[in-house]
Structure 1
Amino acid sequence: MGKLSFNRLKRYVNPEVFDFDTTEEIPPLEGIIGQDRAKKAMEFGIKIKQKGYNIFITGITGTGKTSFASSYIKKIARTEERPNDWVYVYNFEKPAQPIAIELPAGMGKQFKKDMEDFVEQLQRDIPKAFESDSYDMQKSEIIKKYQEKKSELMEELNTLAKSFGFVLKDTRTGIISIPVIEGRQISQEEFQQLDEETRKEIEKRAAEFEVKALQIWKEIQSIDKQARDEIKNLDNNIGLFAVGHLIEDLKGRYKVNESVLKYLESVKKDILENIGKRVNKLEEKVLEYFKRDIYLVDVEGERVGVVNGLAVINLGDYEFGKPSRITVTTYPGEEGVVNIERESKMSGRIHDKGVMILTGYLGSKFAKDFPLTLSARVVFEQSYEGVEGDSASSTELYALLSSLAEVSIKQGIAVTGSVNQFGEVQPVGGVTHKIEGFYKVCKEKGLTGEQGVIIPHQNVNNLVLTEEVIEAVKGGLFHIYSVKTIEEGIEILTGKSFEEIYDKVYRKLKYYYGLLSNKKEDKGDK
């Protein structure tokens, strides 16, 4: 034990003992230092060609084991026949067991490069194929065809429900039947307050209705399946168009190797089976159209007679929300509220009914002292497919009131919800998708902190929003409002009291009535 001096902290060598200036002058080491016997064993072992014979080398680091083994094997390899390449590829049937494929010497690297080029080409060609106008047109035709069939069956179902004393409502959990008593839909609470005899009679009718409706439901489900199958078949055809020629090119290069051909066929099969997972590409394209102002929707500023409504696009296995601009124009006349979708034969009966309810609301609110005399046009802008359902009826009413009062609507707030003749906002389906759809459009165009969505208060318990939307609401970048009445909603959309809106609408309608009355008097005098 003792303190070490500095000259014992490393090994010192006197350079004068060496007969060279640099190590470059020293010839490479051949063999293993002090291991002539091991060297001979290695040379002998390498010459054994039978399977099952291996060489294991161990020893002190720096003695030249690895260098010797490498140099000796390279020396021997120069005199031996060049071995074939082996490549491992993915096993689509048994992912845990890769497939080994033997290729002629030098072709392994080429095959690897060919597959990398193939993947790069797919990444360019597949999105391009599914973003083409041709694909969009074909898919739209399929959706339109089956939507029309489904709408016809839904109309048949609604008629059947009405004959049994019910109306159908679309909710997040599905379509439900609601009893109607004396022309009014009753709530669950009201149903429980009915006497036992009436409740039993309604329950009996409900059971009879379900039996009669079963076949129609089966046909609707069958149509949904047919639509999904046809879209999947279209996707496969489009995918095959993008993938097929690339696979065939590769098959031509490796046509003498059955293992490669089998692998390439499994690659094609897997691509086509999983190509449907890119359905969200349509949503991405829709968002891009909003961003580029191909779809015209403002998410900032204010406009008269313009409100952003919300719809759900259903692709079978995938759904997403899409805002639509709803516009209303009003002027003196006696045509009432005209649904342009209906006039162009693009509206279903439920949507027609929703628009008719608007006239009932205006009459009950504003035409007690004089006849309702106006002409109004309601339209879903940039709608090229059928419009069905009443989930936009409150949106249409807000736009109608805005046009009549000449009061601007905040474009950063979108709306969903149906309405009855008394101005009560009613629940609708797909609220979560609708909110998230408008949020994404606002995000693409730029969140301002003033944007949001108005929903029926009954739908609050149905919300299952993404964490991103929740965080945006939490941070004050986005807002969700629940309302019970049109009066509450119009105040949020305009920032004005309903009393002020009411007064402006009342005066406008009275003015229209006066104009038409004077014209009729003038004609009578003539």
Structure 2
Amino acid sequence: MLKKVTKKEMYNCCRPSDLPFKSTNDIEPLLETIGQKRALSALDFGLGIDSHGFNIYILGESGTGKLTTIKKILEEKSKTEPVPNDWCYVFNFKNADVPRALSLPPGTGLTFQKEMDEFITALRQEIPKVFESKEYEKQRTKILEDFQQKQKQYFTDLEKSAKEKDFTLRKTVSGLILVPVKKTGETLSEEEYDNLEPDVKQKIESIGKELQERLDDVIRKVREEEKKIKDMMMQLERQATLSSVDHGIDEIKNKFQGNPDVLSYLDEVKENILEHLDDFKPQDEQAPTLPFMKPAKSEPSFNRYSINVFVNNRDLKGSPVVIESNPTYFNLFGRVEHKLQYGVAMTDFTMIKAGSLQVASGGYLVVDALELLKNIFAYDALKRTIKDKEIKIEDVWEQYRSVSTVTLRPQPISFNVKIILVGNPRLYYLLYNLDEEYRELFKVKADYENRMDRTPENMLKYASFIRTKCAERNLLPFSRDAVARVIEYGSRLAEHQQKLSAKFSEIADILREADYWSRFNKNKMVTADDMEKAMDEKTYRCNKVEKKILEATEEGTILIDTEGSVIGQVNGLSIIDLGDYRFGVPSRITAKSYAGRAGIVNIERETKMSGRIHEKAILILTAYLGSKYAINQTLSLTASLTFEQLYGGVEGDSATCAEVYALLSSISGVPVKQTYAITGSMNQHGEVQPIGGVSEKIEGFFQVCKLSGLKGQHGVIIPRKNLN
């Protein structure tokens, strides 16, 4: 049976007198998240459990405060957790292409960098002084003089022996040679040699061969002495500088005693310095006479002793919380930068830059799920990182280059990050059902509600939310009648009289708009009138299409009857959703019936303008009529149904009741009052089912009826279940 709905049943008014304050100045700001008990419980579990794969996906509709809530929770939680270690990259003396990663106590990365810089700077000043000292020069001179004395003695003995056998030692461009001489001491010419007797020649050749062997032996001994001298000089340099190097290294070691990786690195630094002492010597400022004969020596680089503080946690008060709004591969995993030098791309370990994952190491990383999937390589690399438990910096484009290039391959650092993805429900279920790895790596689901119960407690929390936004955005205080209007607005957004919307971004928007109009009117407090003005203006900015449809209806371009009765014609109601605004519009639904056996013909279906849900509704309607009127005999009937003046297609089942009335009217010949519009779904048993957008549909028919004048006879028939 039809029941007339009272105003009280249609609109759940929030009485200002029920609110225990005069304005939002009288209440405390909101310190908690409201209406999300299930999601908060899941977050508490997900953040508390420290097991592999228990990363979190927060799902919910846009505007429900997912990101704001998790950010607030993480900021509070991180304060109670320890600050993670710093990370540094240093030169790898064993393999320069694989920079070494060092983990240091939090805040000591910059200290280590400063200590190393000061140490190398001090050595560059001290070592040249050591080499210029009298003691060093004295020992160096003695070593050289001993070598020169031995060298001189070797050649003196050889020359004496050669002279006794009528040979002399001569220097040429190609080196030292032995030449036969006459008794007078003059060199034996080639012509004179050719004129000698064969036995004399043989004797000279024999002596020359013997002397040449001695010369070779002398040269070998001299070279051996040179090697010894070189080793002695290197040993002298090491001994002379060892004290300075050891002193600086030991000072740094004392500050990092508990870190074996740092101590081992410092030992390698010490050895490398002692092997490259020439780099610390004063550079020869005098250019060679013929520069092209001897290339100029390049300036020594001390870059290999630098420290790249990759992750610096000095300023943290707890574990890191990173919100990555643009999760590209390089923003997440870091990169090795390059610089052009003489047209060639150059790089070294000091150009390794951290990504969000490294910065968040030991803490939390929040990523927008949709943005992550939009960035090529990023999602797969993130899953691989979670599985491997290490963060690698790689050049992902290397595999696509036709020519492989040499680049750095930094040592990976350990992965210890709780990943929190934030996205919509559809994306969550797509990943869960289509990606097996996802199910293993993101095991915690935090599902946000889009509405909550309209209880006195939640209404008061709504008011506290308004108080919070007033403080955050410097808004005028809201009077309690304005707060009551906000609560009613929240119920409208929730499409339920006993619910409130949890889309707080939309609530915050209307608060700012109301504040604007209140200031525009020079008020000191936002009133209910300001709220009404804000809602009216918001509607006015978005309802151009609705007004155009009303104009077309008033002009008669769109045919809608709101007076009289017509057979086979009913005013149905539908929703047009533009994204930022939705509204209800009446549609003329007509039915024609005649003898035949074709059954019910859905004209929209035949023209392929009908959606699946609407087609299902027509089949349900057919089943209902058959079960009602054709149990004992075949229903000899052909009937057509259509939405008149519909050109964009139809979808949904909310017009099922209207279509049934139109068909029954056409079959029976009983006219239907056009002063009514009807909306509602129906099942095969004829039970009316609730539908969405009932408020907008009622308002849409009301606007059309106003065009011809309201006479108290107009109304909308809605499902009883929609009274809430």
Q: Same fold (TM over 0.5)?
A: no
TM-score range, shorter chain: 0.3 to 0.5
Structure 1 length as normaliser, TM-score?
Answer: 0.41
Q: Quick one: higher RCO (CA 8 Å, sep 6+), 1 or 2?
A: 2
- Structure with the higher helix share, 1 or 2: 1
